Amino acid sequence: MIRKFNIAVVGATGAVGNEVLRVLEERDFPVGELRLLASERSEGNFLEFRGEEILVEKLTRDSFQGVDIVLFSAGGATSLEFCPAAVDAGAVCIDNSSAWRMNPEVPLVVPEVNPRDIAMFRNKGIIANPNGSTIQMVMVLKPLHDFSPIRRVVVSTYQAVSGSGRKAIDELRIQSGELLNGRPVEAGVYPHQIAFNCLPQVDSFLENGYTREEMELVHETRKIIGDQGLGVTATAVRVPVFYGHSESVNIETTDKISVARARELLAAAPGIHVDDDVNNAIYPIPVEAAGQDEIFVGRIREDETVANGLNLWVVADNLRKGAALNAVQIAEVLVKEYL
């Protein structure tokens, strides 16, 4: 008989939490009891899982009795406060927030890239899920880096509003409707209007002039690839797209990787789909990546200004591989290899 695991989803009513439920269903994860947790705002609501209506409960320190794995997607403060309680109750935490990502004792994992790091969950009982922008980038960097070590990465992101959660999806929808009807709009989630606009700010600014999102791309990439010397510089931009982050990625490798070889390496890598036929206007775009599990890469070109440079365009659904899918894939390795 297949062993089942009791699962708790913290932030089940949110954009990521909702997707976690869909991914658990679709991948037929061996779920025993399922506990749905959120704040008191959503207490008493019901969410559907495998055709059943399941009650949403208020998260407390006592929410984790008998739970094997907790998937957290409820912000960093909630993870910092409640992961230790979940671990004390005997559960393993997979955390979608940034709270634990750079803790040296906590593994930061993309299963296709550094699956063996999962074993480090024993240190604290926590595994961190990287930032969605980092996940889609390292998925593409890894096969190229294995062929010829990457020295420097210059990335600019074009990030969908769903990366900021449920309220931001509503904000883009409402602002778009208002503006098309000639009415003024108010900014709420973002510091400026997001509809028909681009904002060169994702998350808050740090003292060095970069945003948190940009520095997460730097530090998380180094941790996952396992190379603290890797040069990474990032500009993160919020764009009026509902689902799917896009990235322009420029890399310099130690030895030359031809465009043809890069296509081969990427096409052979798990979880990556090469869409690169510019004569037929085939390249990754967010409306096609939305709802898909793969990382899509195209526009692969030589950077003609340096000896060993490539330009790539990388698109993925930020709620799927950028968050929920990656977390469930970590849970799959955990139950198969460790629990």
For residue 176 the two structure tokens come to: 């778009």
DSSP strands (E only) in the chain? 5-10, 31-38, 46-49, 52-58, 69-72, 92-95, 126-128, 150-159, 231-238, 245-253, 272-274, 295-302, 309-316
In angstroms, the CA 317 to CA 175 distance is 22
Shorter beta-carbon distance to ligand NAP: residue 163 or 298 = 163
Q: Is 163 in the site for ligand NAP (CB under 6 A)?
A: yes
Residues contacting 291, CB < 8 A, separation 6+? 243, 317, 320
* Placement of tokens 């750079």 in the chain: 102
Find the binding residues for ligand NAP in span 249-308 (CB under 6 A).
none
Shortest separation between residue 86's beta carbon and ligand NAP, angstroms: 13
Minimum CB distance to ligand NAP smaller for 80 or for 154: 80
Q: Pick the closer one to ligand NAP by CB: 98 or 193.
A: 98
Burial label, 255 (beta-carbon count in 10 A; 0-12, 13-18, 19+): exposed
Question: Under the criterion CB under 6 A, does residue 75 sit at the interface with ligand NAP?
Answer: yes
Binding mask 95-114 for ligand NAP (x = CB under 6 A): -xx-----------------
d(CA 132, CA 267): 21
CB of 164 to ligand NAP, least distance (A): 6
Q: What is the size of the binding site for ligand NAP (CB under 6 A)?
A: 29
Task: Please identify, using beta-carbon distances, which residue of 298 and 322 lies nearer to ligand NAP.
Answer: 322
Give the interface with ligand NAP as residue ranges (CB under 6 A): 11-17, 38-39, 41-42, 59, 73-76, 78, 96-97, 132, 162-163, 165-167, 318-319, 322-323
